């Protein structure tokens, strides 16, 4: 990834990781991912929103060089997970006068996760504004989207929302902006299912709040920028809603084909009732657990029912099923 302009003196300067095939040792990422960092140059101050995974520190630093950045006044951390803060030290080493800015929870977690001196963090509260001169940043706290520290930043004059992990996708592309491609929509849905769905009630509220803000662009921490915010907001409204499809998903393990035969017969009976059925074999191949569990979790966004089918191992469910 190179320096990508997304607005007037606003640039994406993060890093692409197209060959990353698994995220958090859990989530399949067949299209890789990105670690987005955003540079905003005001008339008086310059801010960098987030850094990148430490594996890609050199990419971020090269992009800052390419952008001709001589000073950074504020290093804004929206989320302390290492894929967004792991290169903070390198940024501060090059730009020692930069002030780290974040919420109280960010300050706390920078100390516990990165051993960063909490006294060096400028704490911002809900609704607080930070002036860059002719550009103004306003902070909105969105805890548990998906960590306790997640924060959004609203760039008032440009109506751009920097949404942290919310509305992201694990989708590496050389293009700055999201398209309407089917595979990109699937990537966004998989991301929601794996990362955001456990916090559905909170995400529903945050989506409604963002809808009221009416952003011109949504710039997430992973994946392309949403140049048409309705493209992702309408999907989040659907995914977080109570509506489901006439769909049953059946993840199963079958050591000697007996469970598989039971699943097949059950699927036939359910299909006869007009239901759509998805069967996921969690043990067919060595990599089936991670891959099929990821697919199964995405099924849950739409499914009306889930049936787990497993043989017993030492008096309990098969370990793969227990994991799933």
Q: Helices then strands (H, E): number in the chain?
A: 10, 21
Looking at the structure, tell me whether residues 200 and 267 fall in a common domain: no
- Per-residue DSSP letter, 202: H
The CATH number given to whatever domain includes residue 314 is 3.40.50.360
Looking at the structure, tell me whether residues 225 and 267 fall in a common domain: no
CB 59 within 8 Å of CB 15: yes
Q: Which residues of the chain have pLDDT under 70?
A: 1, 286-288
What is d(CA 135, CA 41) in angstroms, rounded to the nearest whole number?
8
Which three-class secondary structure state does DSSP give residue 72?
coil
Q: How many domains does one find in the chain?
A: 2
What is d(CA 256, CA 235) in angstroms, rounded to the nearest whole number?
40
Domain that holds residue 93: 4-240
pLDDT attached to residue 98? 98
Q: Which one, of 138, 185, 179, lies nearest residue 158 by Cα?
A: 138
Looking at the structure, tell me whether residues 176 and 278 fall in a common domain: no
Q: Which one, of 109, 310, 303, lies nearest residue 197 by Cα?
A: 303
Tokens of 53: 């995974």
144-167 as b/e: b if 16+ CB within 10 A: ebbbebbbbbbbeebebbbbbbbb
> Which residues have CB under 8 Å from 310's CB, separation 6+?
252, 253, 259, 317, 318, 321
How far is C-alpha 106 from the geometric centre of its chain's CA atoms? Answer: 17
Task: Select from 240, 273, 296 the last residue of a domain.
Answer: 240
Looking at the structure, tell me whether residues 290 and 309 fall in a common domain: yes
Task: Select from 177, 210, 240 the last residue of a domain.
Answer: 240
* Maximum C-alpha span of the chain: 70
pLDDT attached to residue 1? 60
Looking at the structure, tell me whether residues 168 and 316 fall in a common domain: no
Tokens of 50: 């987030």
Tokens of 203: 């995400």
């Amino acid at each position: 990834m190179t320096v990508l302009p997304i607005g007037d003196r606003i640039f994406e300067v993060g890093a692409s990781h197209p060959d990353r095939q698994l995220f958090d040792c859990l989530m399949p990422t067949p299209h890789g991912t990105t670690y987005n960092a955003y540079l905003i140059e005001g008339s008086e101050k310059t801010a960098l929103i987030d850094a990148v995974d430490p594996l890609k520190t050199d990419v971020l630093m090269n992009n800052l060089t390419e952008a001709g950045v001589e000073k950074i006044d504020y290093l804004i951390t929206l989320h302390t997970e290492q894929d967004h803060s792991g290169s903070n030290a390198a940024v501060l080493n090059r730009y020692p006068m930069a002030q780290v800015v974040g919420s109280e929870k960010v300050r706390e977690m920078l100390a516990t996760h990165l051993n960063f001196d909490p006294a060096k963090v400028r704490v911002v509260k809900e609704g607080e504004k930070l002036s860059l001169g002719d550009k103004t940043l306003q902070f909105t706290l969105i805890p548990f989207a998906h960590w306790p520290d997640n924060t959004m930043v609203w760039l008032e004059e440009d109506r751009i929302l920097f949404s942290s992990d919310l509305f992201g996708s694990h989708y590496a592309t050389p293009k700055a902006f999201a398209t309407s491609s089917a595979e990109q929509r699937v990537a966004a849905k998989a991301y929601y299912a794996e990362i955001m769905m456990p916090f559905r009630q909170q995400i529903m509220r945050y989506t409604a709040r963002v809808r009221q803000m009416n952003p011109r662009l949504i710039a997430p921490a992973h994946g392309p920028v949403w140049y048409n915010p309705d493209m992702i907001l309408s999907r989040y409204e659907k995914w977080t809603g109570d509506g489901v499809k006439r769909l049953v998903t059946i993840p199963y393990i079958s050591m000697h084909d007996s469970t598989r035969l039971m699943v097949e017969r059950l699927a036939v009976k359910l299909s006869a009732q007009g239901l759509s059925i998805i069967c996921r074999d969690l043990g067919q191949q060595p990599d089936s657990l991670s891959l099929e569990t990821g697919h199964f979790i995405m099924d849950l966004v739409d499914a009306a029912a889930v049936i787990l089918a497993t043989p017993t191992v030492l008096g309990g469910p098969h370990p793969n099923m227990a994991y799933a």
